[in-house]
Amino acid sequence: MTDRKKGIHALYRDDPVKADAAVWGRRTDPVTRRGFLKGSGLAAMSAAVGASIPFAHLMPGGLIPAALAQNDAPFEIPGKEGLIVLNDRPVNAETPAHLLDDRVTPAKRLFVRNNGVPPVTGSIDADAWELTFGGESVEREVTLTIADLKSRFEHHTYQLQLECGGNGRSEFVPPASGNQWTTGAIGCPRWTGVRLRDVLEHVGVKTDAVYVAYYGADTHVSGDPRKVPISRGVPLGKALEDESLIAWAMNGEDIPPMNGYPLRLVIAGWPGSVAGKWLKSIVVRDRVHDGPKMKGASYRVPCEPVAPGTVVPDEEMCIIESMPVKSLVTFPKSGIEHDVASLLAVRGHAWAGDREVSAVHVSIDFGATWTQAALEKPVNRLAWQHWQAAVEFPQRGYYEVWARATDDTGRAQPMVLPRWNPKGYLNNACHRIAVQAV
């Protein structure tokens, strides 16, 4: 016989209900989705997390305890600290939630999401870097250097959220292909540059313009110079927003090489893939852009809800635009011990794509009850918002602190998972951390 073993994540990806039964002996009510965990199963889970679980009867079925689900082993990338690598060709790495506690994301903590191989830029003259404007719907083709951009156009600085469309992909069942992001493909640094709108007005945009797209200097991982790793875009209206920037600086310094030095787009609130790095060309199109990663299932979700595992035809997939409402617990770190006799201070960030967050609530009983947190206004449009709360634990044991944000249209984060899609995009389920009350 062959001794075949699977890790807990693999078991839960294959079939979370069966995994519950196999690992803990837990059964799930098909109507309420609550998991029934008693006797030896409850004892086993309590032993695994290191304490009794006062609200075990409220824990949803098919849910891996946060204490077992999260891993923050660091990986070193030049210029970065504490990031977890997901892929090395191309390089993709995320930031553990507790390392995103800064109000303004430091360069060393901003996630890395590459589709190709970054250009070598260590010895370049950044001011001489050229950006070309073209496409069917420009009045004239123009090439500008970074020095031209700095001297001819007004400079603007905004704190802007940047999030990968696949952030949270690892939680989808059945699993989706691609980098298995957990929660750390998000950041909100300060970006400095010129408005894309101002430069487009200088170049001249025809009345038939529909889309604005980019090409970067990165190369395809295959090494084939004829292949473009990614070229995406946004509708003209999004490109013309005040906050859509051609940026050369982040937090007052050069953009890190892995994040697009010396020049990139910053298009906040939409998937980070529309914010092209190592920017070399901007094209104004008279149609929806058709570059690599614009068609098929790339950065698209089913136009209508589908059952998990469904094969969806390309023509029934819609391009992702504004990202959904979301929140993150950045303090304390998941897995801490806390004195049951004192309140626990909890804080984090919340954001909602093109929208503003109107409220954040926290729960310690797996979403059965919620308490409203204090929420700050954003420093500018499309920046994340900071929240804080204090929670009290009724007795010793294992708890999970969940955070749930609601946007200004009334849309709230789902407690466990949003609707499934083939590529695992737009997971905005409640973030949760594990706490041992002792």
Cα(78)–Cα(209) distance, integer angstroms: 40
Q: What was the pLDDT predicted at 4?
A: 39
Q: How far apart are CA 418 and CA 163, in angstroms?
A: 17
pLDDT grade, residue 58 (50/70/90)?
A: confident
pLDDT above 80: residue 7 = no
- Say whether pLDDT at 152 is over 90: yes
Tell me: pLDDT of 354 over 50: yes
* CB burial of residue 224 (10 Å; 0-12, 13-18, 19+): exposed
Torsions phi, psi of 388, nearest 5? Answer: -150, 155
- The one-character DSSP state at 34 is B
Four-way CATH pick for 107-319: 2.40.37.10, 3.90.420.10, 3.40.50.150, 3.40.50.300: 3.90.420.10
Residues 6+ apart with CB under 8 A from 204: 138, 139, 140
Q: Residue 59 pLDDT > 90, yes or no?
A: no
Structure tokens at 89: 């060709």
pLDDT for 5: 46
Share of the chain above pLDDT 90, in %: 77
> Whole-number mean pLDDT of the chain?
92
Where are the chain's structural domains? 8-64, 107-319, 326-437
DSSP-assigned letters across all residues of 267-296: -TTSBGGGS-SSEEEEEEESSS--STTSST
pLDDT band at residue 160 using 50, 70 and 90 as cut-offs: very high
Residue 2 has pLDDT above 50, yes or no: no
Q: What number is the average pLDDT over the span 190-199?
A: 98
pLDDT of residue 9: 62
pLDDT band per the 50, 70, 90 thresholds, residue 390: very high
Q: What local confidence, expressed as pLDDT, does residue 31 receive?
A: 63
Residue 134, strand partner residues: 283
Residue 163 has pLDDT above 80, yes or no: yes
Q: What is the DSSP string of 247-271?
A: EEEETTEEPPGGGTTT-EEE-TTSB
Residue 21 vs residue 361, higher pLDDT: 361
Radius of gyration of the chain (CA): 23
pLDDT at 19: 77
The dihedrals phi and psi of 135, each to the nearest 5 degrees, come to 105, 165
- Kindly tell me the burial class for residue 123, based on how many C-beta atoms sit within 10 Å of its own C-beta (0-12, 13-18, 19 or more): exposed
pLDDT at 147 over 60: yes
Instruction: Report how far apart, in Å, the C-alpha atoms of 6 and of each of 9, 36, 42, 176, 291 are.
Output: 8, 23, 21, 18, 39
- Give, in order, the Cα–Cα distances in Å from 291 to each of 136, 197, 205, 238, 417: 14, 21, 20, 18, 31
Tell me what pLDDT residue 6 has: 52
Burial of residue 388, with CB atoms counted within 10 A of its CB: 0-12 exposed, 13-18 middle, 19 or more buried: middle
Residue 393 has pLDDT above 80, yes or no: yes
Which tens digit of pLDDT belongs to each residue from 362-376?
999 999 999 999 999
* Separation CA 201–CA 236 (nearest Å): 12
The CATH class, in words, for 326-437 is mainly beta
- Residue 61 is predicted with a pLDDT of 82
* Identical fold between 107-319 and 326-437: no
What the block records as the tokens of 173 is 């069942």
Q: What is the mean pLDDT of residues 398-411?
A: 98
Please tell me the predicted confidence (pLDDT) of residue 51.
82
Amino acid at site 391: V
Per-residue pLDDT reduced to its tens digit, 292-326: 999 999 999 999 999 999 999 999 999 999 999 99
Whole-prediction pTM: 0.87
Question: Strand, coil or helix: what is 18?
Answer: helix
Residue 408 neighbours by CB distance under 10 Å: 12
Q: How far apart are CA 120 and CA 40, in angstroms?
A: 57
